[in-house]
Structure 1
Amino acid sequence: MTRTIKFTKMHGAGNDYIYVDTTRFPIEHPEELSKIWSAPHTGIGSDGLVLIGTSDKADFSMRIFNADGSEARMCGNASRCIGKYLFDYGLTSKTKIMLDTLSGIKVLNLHLADGKVNSVTVDMGIPADEPADYDGKGAKPMKEQPIEVDGERYAGTTVSMGNPHLVIFVNDIEDVDLPVIGPKLENHPLFPERINVEFAQILGEGKIRMRVWERGSGITQACGTGACATAVAAFLTGRAGRDSTVIMDGGSLNIRWDIATRHVLMTGEATKVFDGEIELID
């Protein structure tokens, strides 16, 4: 049997996903569909597939699948886009939305212009160390630690923002051969579940330039949780204050690590690209 699935393609700072409202269009085997639909030449083309659903703990739920079919626990850019999707398509009239994710319930605060959402602030919660047994005696939480690849040593900070990140600061980000080093760090033996990799350069005046190799998707234009992890790592290593603008290939995000609550707040735009339909054979 063939069904027509309606979808919306959206992006946050260039990080683009396919969004499906599963309350209207139920989907089975999203892992396989994400691989097929995300393909740039034979599919829709995206960094992955995002499913919007119901929740008995929050207003709505989110499941996110990378372009390789693996499921992610959280995505900052996708959560902002979900906020815009829900409000602009009339699924809610709330401007404060509780979103159920695999990394817990996230709070979305929608900012409106002319009756539509133009940016969203997401409460990303409290950052944590992403364990890595660097020295055989246990990880040193959220401090720079050495990591070696092909005989070259890097200083990396592991941070969890609902999913795992390795942040490495460099003097010149343009010198980083990300297509080569990214997959090697993602699949380093220190990280049996793989890891997202961010290279970052401090520009001054609260600005940080960042490039990302995402676990399961490769090079992407932006990563919301990665921007948060980078801002946290910059503060912890004395490179920046609690407020940062993280500049990525696809755009910028404002990150604030609140001193009172210890929560990381991420603000950025959410953009609809187009609506579409695709045939699905059950």
Structure 2
Amino acid sequence: MAELLTLAAVARWLLYAGALVAVGRGTVAFLDPEWKAGARSVHDAAGPRSVARLAAVALLGAVALLLWGQLTALEMTRADIPVLLGQTSWGLGWSQLAGASALAAVALLLPMGRTTSLLLLMAALGVAVAMGGLGHAAADEQWPIGARLLDAMHVAAMGAWIGGLLCTVLIVRVPAFPLRDAAWRTFSRTATVMAPVTLASGVGSAARLLLGTAPAAILASDYGRLLVLKTVLAAVILFIGAGERRRIASGKMPESRRVWVELGVAGAVLLVTALLTGSEPPGE
């Protein structure tokens, strides 16, 4: 699988990470835009704002790396960019993704409130939809729109779940923030809905690509082995998350170490997903 770790895979990892933070920040801020630490919005405290800036850089860097990687793969130069973007389906998909990513990056840098969080959510959902134009869904001739919407649903739900977890961890660590229990309860309710949506949309996307393929052929492919690894990692996240949900429901705070392990495993899931998107499903 080492050959799958390409420039494009790094770009996709940055894209997924940036999109998840954008969706998570937008979701958390939209649900409770008036939360404050002292006189300042908790969403614009140093920690949450720094991660938002990193996510903006990740989104913009990802689209630049994707373009550079495509030029390199096709042995084209910068002078060929107008042709690549204006006369190919890949170029059209990239242009849509670049526009949505730029809008999301700008929204990530704005002070958070009800209106700006809604703008961020809309831009981040635009990124999620545009991702399908460069992935496996773009090659689906039977259900092109449905395939892209399913992938977008997967990214959006995971963003609200895992991105929301990261953003909640950051805001409850802000000094003088008095509503830590309320923040965790809000996240727990969101995760209870979004985790099943993430799983269902992921299973649907995989089934769409693998339906009718023999199990032996699936496991013999890089795609199949990566899918198994992603499934195992997702099960670990669910196991940890279920335990923390029980703690929150009983009025306790989540265990910090377990939450950071959950986020670390989620980062690994993003890497596996980046590799998965760049590999060929068996039978194609």
| TM class, shorter-length | under 0.3
Rg comparison, structure with higher value: 2
Choose between structure 1 and 2: higher helix proportion: 2
TM-score by length of 2: 0.27
TM-score by length of 1: 0.27
Choose between structure 1 and 2: higher strand proportion: 1
Higher relative contact order (CA 8 A, sep 6+): 2
